[in-house]
Structures are given as structure tokens and as C-alpha cells.
């Protein structure tokens, strides 16, 4: 082996050693101390407050405004008094229902976590627990999406277009830009 090749091989080896010596870092490291392993403190807080957590993106990003944002932008959207009252009612219903379902979801996740922690999980308990969680997640998402659907029905096409502009979604030159009607 020529001295040049030997130096190259040694140089590469020296660089590789620290990589091989590092213990594997996983994305779950540190999460073993959570009260509910599958939910962060932020997730729990958001669920208990009835927050959307991105559950209504399919609506929001496809021309179905969310009630909380419509209320925030009420002046810019020139909401009528009637529209304002109706959107407030939709928001109140959504928030109350989402808080209730969120609390139930947190409790179900806690129960599932405890079954694993105590070593009491069985295939039947796993199936029942995850089915209950999935059903709650679906209902919760439906609440948020329904609020967007109902809110859109109250707005005229100009308000929807203005909403998209104010939220930074509207780009008339973009391919696939949709029109509302």
C-alpha cells in the first residue's frame, strides 16, 4: 500500500470511529418518563382545551374556513351581525364538544398506557382499547371538520376568498387554485 493510500484509509477510519462509538439515539429517548407515553404534555393540554391540533387541515386548506379564525378576522371579512352570532355558536359547540371528547381520549390513552405499564395487556384488551381510541379520534376530528363545513356555509364567496388571502393561502397564479361557489 502506498503511503498516500494508507493515510487516506487511516483518515477515513479515524472519522468513522466516533460514529460507530455513539450509542443509538432514538426519537423516543426521554419520553419514558411521560405520564401517558403516547401523548406529550402539550398534546394533553391541547386535547383538554379542545384545540384543533391540525385535525381540520383538509378543510382549512381547501377553502373551508375555521370558526376561530373567522371570528378573529371578523372585521376584515365584514361579517354581518347574524354571521357573527352563527359563527360564535358554531365555535362554542365545537369547543365544548372537542373538550369533552379530548378529555375522554386522554383518559382512554391513560388506561391503555397503564395496561402496558402493569403488564396486564392482552390481545383482547389491546384490540378494545385501540378501537375505543380510534373511535374517539374520529369523532373528535369530525367535530373540528364539521365546524369548518358549517362556517363556510355562512360565508359568501368573496368572504372566503378574502379569508384565504388573509390566512396566506390564496395564490391565484398557482396551478390548481380553486374557486368557491
Return the domain boundaries, the chain.
Answer: 34-167
* Residue 11, pLDDT score: 53
* Residue 170, pLDDT score: 80
* Residue 177, pLDDT score: 47
Query: In the chain, how long is the greatest CA-to-CA distance?
Result: 86
* Residue 30, pLDDT score: 84
* Residue 181, pLDDT score: 47
Where does residue 168 fall: left (phi above 0), alpha (psi -120 to 50 degrees), or beta otherwise? left
Please state the φ and ψ torsions of residue 88, each to the nearest 5 degrees: -60, -40
* Residue 12, pLDDT score: 54
* Residue 149, pLDDT score: 98
pTM over 0.85: no
Tell me the C-alpha distance between 13 and 21, whole Å.
12
* Residue 26, pLDDT score: 86
The residues of the chain scoring below 50 in pLDDT are 21, 175-177, 179-181
Tell me the C-alpha distance between 168 and 162, whole Å.
10
Amino acid at each position: 500500500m502506498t503511503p498516500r493510500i494508507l493515510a487516506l484509509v487511516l483518515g477515513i477510519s479515524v472519522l468513522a470511529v466516533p460514529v460507530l462509538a455513539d450509542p443509538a439515539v432514538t426519537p423516543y429517548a426521554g419520553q419514558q418518563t411521560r405520564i401517558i407515553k403516547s401523548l406529550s404534555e402539550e398534546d394533553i393540554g391541547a386535547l383538554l382545551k379542545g384545540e384543533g391540533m391540525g385535525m381540520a387541515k383538509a378543510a382549512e386548506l381547501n377553502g373551508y374556513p375555521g370558526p376561530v379564525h373567522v371570528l378573529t378576522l371578523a372585521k376584515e371579512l365584514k361579517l354581518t351581525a347574524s354571521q357573527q352570532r352563527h359563527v360564535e355558536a358554531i365555535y362554542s359547540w365545537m369547543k365544548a364538544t372537542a373538550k369533552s371528547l379530548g378529555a375522554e381520549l386522554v383518559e382512554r390513552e391513560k388506561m391503555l398506557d397503564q395496561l402496558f405499564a402493569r403488564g396486564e395487556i392482552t390481545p383482547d384488551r389491546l384490540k378494545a382499547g385501540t378501537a375505543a381510541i380510534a373511535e374517539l379520534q374520529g369523532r373528535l376530528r369530525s367535530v373540528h371538520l364539521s365546524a369548518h363545513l358549517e362556517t363556510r356555509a355562512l360565508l359568501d364567496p368573496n368572504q372566503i376568498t378574502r379569508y384565504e388571502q388573509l390566512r396566506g393561502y390564496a395564490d391565484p397564479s398557482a396551478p390548481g387554485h380553486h374557486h368557491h361557489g
